[in-house]
Every structure is written in structure tokens, then in C-alpha cells.
Structure 1
Amino acid sequence: MAKKTEATVEEKLRALYDLQLIDSRIDEIANVRGELPLEVEDLEDEVEGLKTRLDKLGVELENLTQEIANKKNAIEDSKALIKKYSDQQKNVRNNREFNSLTKEMEFQELEIQLSEKHIREYKAQIEQKKEVIAQTKERLKERDNHLKHKKGELDAILAETEKEENMLKDKSLEYQELIDERLVKAYKRIRGSVKNGLAVVAIERGASGGSFFTIPPQVQMEIASRKKIITDEHSGRILVDPNLADEEKVKMDELFGSL
């Protein structure tokens, strides 16, 4: 669509209303998707978080297993020392040396007891972590299945609407080229600040579309003359007359049907 120069006010109003119809159609498609994209994103984050937690629990499990192995080695070392001190006691020359070796043996016995206590604690922690791992895996499986289901829903909707949406977005850009940059900026500003993204509305039963505020007859006549851009003093929306709106709706319905 070639860019127009010196467009009349009526041509600008028609292009603005066409642009609104196109953008509203894009909004409808986005509404069909609803919260699904955010749901999928949240589920992806949750699944990733559960996987990270499982990795961390796995590392903690390995560390505990290693600690048990270390304590078992320490027990063997203590037993070896006890045997060594016991053998040395057979060759001592006085009671002082004998008592000193006895104390060393007692200390190693205490070390063995402490290591055995730690082993029991580590084993209890391992059982607890295994339980948490099992629960986390179950949760991960459930969330992963839910994610696949939601992704399937989203993919189906996208497959149905993506082509039309992309073509509509291209059309939106084409129609923006027909309108002064200043008007396009005003349209986008209004669209972003009003309900339902409706920046251009037709007069309905003497009031601005979607509003209960009556438009004075003189202003309605000015709007119908299509000689200048008129906005609703209450909502700020750009106003067009019903006949123009009906004509453009027919034209745009044909366009939507061809996409």
C-alpha cells in the first residue's frame, strides 16, 4: 500500500478507524491466548527450579556418602592406632609410658565412637534427603506433564492464529503509513490509556461508543461532516460518524476474511 500525501481529513479518519479495527482484531487474537503464555513461562521456571533443586540434593547426597566413607576410614585408622599402641604397651619400661599409651588408646576409642555417631547422623540425613528427592521427582513429573499440556494448548492456538496475527500486524503498519506521524502517536497514546484499547470509536445513540456521555448535536454534525479530527472531551477517544464506521467495517471484514 503506497504512502499517501496530502490526505483529506476523511481519508485520515477512515485510515484511523481501519487501523483501530485491525488492532482490535489483533487484541482479540491475543485474548484467545489469554494467560497461557504467562502460565507456560511460570511452569517452565518452576520445572527449571525443581531440576536445579534435584541437582543440589544430588550433590548433597554425594557429599554425605563421601563423609560416611571418610568416617569409616577414620575408624580404621583409629583401630590401627589402637593396635599399634597395644603392641607398644608390651614393650614399655615404666608405668608412665603404659598410662600414656592407654590414654592414647582411650582417645582413639572416643574418636571411633564419635565417627560412628557421625555416620549414624549422615545416614539419617541421607534417608531424609532421599525422601525429599522422591517427593521432588514426583512434583517435577507432575509439573512437567502440566507444562507439556499447556504448551500443547498454546502451540495449537498459535498454529491457528499466528499466520493471521502476523499478517494483521503487517497491515497495521501499512495503515499507519497512511496517517500523519503525529496522529499515529496520538492514536497509540489514547489506545494505551483507555479500556479495551479503543482509541477510535463511532457515535452510538448520540454518545461516544462505550460511553454514556451524550455528544451535543452541533458536535455530531461536525463529526458527520468529516472536516476535522474531533475527540471525545470525556474519554479523549477520536470520534467518527456511524456511517463511516459501518462502511469501514464492511471493508475490513472482507480483508479479515481474505487473510
Structure 2
Amino acid sequence: MAQVEKPIVEKLRDLYNLQQVDSKIDQIEILKGELPMEVSDLEDEIEGLVTRINRLDATVKELSNEVASYEAKKKESEMLIERYEGQMDNVKNNREYEALMKETEMQRLSIQLADKKVGIAKRELEGKVETLNATKERKEGKAAELVTKQEELKGIITKTEKEEKKLRKASTSARKDIEERLLKAYDRTRSSYRNGLSVVTVERNSCGGCFNAVPPQLQLEVSQSKKILACEHCGRILVDTSIAEPETAKAK
């Protein structure tokens, strides 16, 4: 048996009903505001800061080891100089003396080089430690901010979770009563506007979505509910207030 097509008035009522449910879901999303995105952004930022802290920690350790290594080389050279100078008192000829002088000079040059390397490494180390501390401080601040945002979002979700689940279930159910062609048009128009309105009533001779004037002839056709008609300006589906009234009564 062929399926009997719904009257236009029922199609319009189904669309309006879906719009009412989706608008209530939108209100919950507005209540959440930018919190979900802010929480996600903070989590990403903290993850990036942790990665940076780990890199800086590794660099600080590397530079600290570098400083310790150069200082050890300097100490070794100082000990060698002391030994060579002691040996100079017991040389037997000029050749041995000159050899010890040459070794002593080489160690002095080694000390100068070590001092230079230590100075460079310490300056770099100081800068990295300063950056590391600032990054840790920033991470702590962002972590505290994240906790606040998460608690705020959790509070809203706790208050609205039951209602939101109920509404989303109702939206899914309402969509099953609407043919695919109309659903696609509904979704397309709904996604085009920030307020998510795709189905609106004619109020005070104007479109309830964009508030532009609706011509008298179009108003008449809308009131008859024999066609699915759209606003000439914004493309939203227009319905008569008589279709909206049963939903208004239910809301009360």
C-alpha cells in the first residue's frame, strides 16, 4: 500500500516543532558560551608549555654539565701548572726547562679557553633558567585558570545535562517525522545564521527571523498553510502563528 503523503500543514508543524526543540538546545549551548573551546585551548596550551619546560630542563642540565666539564678541565690545568713549576727546580738542562715552560704555557692557554667557555655557558644557562622559571610560572597560571573554567563548565553541564539529553533525544525523534529534502533545507538555513533560526512565524507583518516586511500576498499564503514558503529576504521557512500556538500552549 502506497504511503499517504502528509498534509503541508503537518509538515510545517513538524518543522516548527523541530525548530523549537533545537532552539532550546541552542540556549543551553549559549549558556555554556565559549567555555568548551576555552577549556580545550587551555589544555592545548598547557600541553605545549609542558613540552617546552621539558626541553628547557634538558638544555639547563646540558649547560650545567658543560660548565662543570670546563671547570674540571680548568682545575686539571691548574694542577698540571703547579706540577710543572715544581719540576722546573729539578731540571738538568735548558731543553727540559723549555719543554716544561711550553707545557705550562699550553695549560695557561687551556685555562683561558676554559674560562671563556664557562662564561659563555653560564650566560646561556642564566637565560635558559630565567625562561624556564617564567614558563613554569605561566603553566601554573594556566593550570589554575583551566581548573576554574572546568569547574564552571562542569557546573553548567550538571545543571543542564538531563534537559539537554532529553532535548537531543526529542530532536532526533522529530527529525524522523520530516522528509529528507526538507531536513536538508532546514539544516542548511539553520547553519547559515548565528541564532540558528530556520523556521519562523510572521510577526507584525514581518519575518520573525530577519524582521523584513512580508508582502501581504505572501502573508495570506502563509496563513493558509498550503505551501512551504520562505522569506524573500533571508530564506527562512515561514509558518502561520496558528501552527506555533499549540507548541506555545505545550510550553506553558
Identity %: 46
Secondary structure of 1:179's aligned partner: coil
Counterpart Cα distance in 2 of 1:238 and 1:121: 72
1:149-205: per-residue Cα shift (whole Å, max 9, x none)?
111101101111122222211211111110110000011111112341111110111
User: TM-score, normalised to structure 1's length?
Assistant: 0.85
By how many angstroms is 1:137 displaced?
Answer: 2.8
Q: Which residue of 2 aligns with 1:111?
A: 110
Give, as a single letter, the amino acid of the residue that structure 1 aligns with 2:142. R
Q: Which residue of 2 aligns with 1:209?
A: 208
Q: Which residue of 2 aligns with 1:233?
A: 232
By how many angstroms is 1:90 displaced?
Answer: 6.3
Q: Which residue of 2 aligns with 1:6?
A: 5
Aligned positions of 1:188-203 closer than 5 A: 188-203=187-202
Q: Which residue of 1 aligns with 2:136?
A: 137
Asked if the contact 1:21–1:249 (Cα under 8 Å) also holds between the matched residues in 2, the reply is: no
Q: Which residue of 2 aligns with 1:28?
A: 27
Secondary structure of 1:110's aligned partner: helix
Counterpart Cα distance in 2 of 1:14 and 1:5: 17
Cα RMSD, aligned residues only: 2.4
Counterpart Cα distance in 1 of 2:4 and 2:69: 84
Q: Is 118-127 or 32-41 further displaced after alignment?
A: 118-127
Give, as a single letter, the amino acid of the residue that structure 1 aligns with 2:46. V
Counterpart Cα distance in 1 of 2:41 and 2:234: 36
Q: Which residue of 2 aligns with 1:171?
A: 170
Q: Is 144-153 or 109-118 further displaced after alignment?
A: 109-118
Secondary structure of 2:37's aligned partner: helix
Asked if the contact 2:209–2:236 (Cα under 8 Å) also holds between the matched residues in 1, the reply is: no
Is residue 58 from structure 1 mapped to residue 23 from structure 2 by the alignment? no
RCO comparison, higher one (Cα < 8 Å, 6+): 1
Asked if the contact 1:230–1:239 (Cα under 8 Å) also holds between the matched residues in 2, the reply is: yes
Q: Where does the alignment leave 5 or more consecutive residues of structure 1 unmatched?
A: 255-259
Asked if the contact 1:19–1:175 (Cα under 8 Å) also holds between the matched residues in 2, the reply is: yes
Asked if the contact 1:194–1:235 (Cα under 8 Å) also holds between the matched residues in 2, the reply is: no
Secondary structure of 2:103's aligned partner: helix
Secondary structure of 1:203's aligned partner: strand
Structure 1 consecutive aligned stretches of length 4 or more whose deviation exceeds 4 Å: 83-94
Is residue 151 from structure 1 mapped to residue 150 from structure 2 by the alignment? yes
Counterpart Cα distance in 1 of 2:68 and 2:4: 84
Give, as a single letter, the amino acid of the residue that structure 2 aligns with 1:248. E
Give, as a single letter, the amino acid of the residue that structure 2 aligns with 1:225. Q
Counterpart Cα distance in 2 of 1:197 and 1:207: 18
Secondary structure of 1:249's aligned partner: helix
Q: Is 152-161 or 215-224 further displaced after alignment?
A: 215-224
Counterpart Cα distance in 2 of 1:45 and 1:98: 67
Q: Where does the alignment leave 5 or more consecutive residues of structure 2 unmatched?
A: none
1:111-144: per-residue Cα shift (whole Å, max 9, x none)?
1122133334433443443333333333222221
Counterpart Cα distance in 1 of 2:70 and 2:225: 91
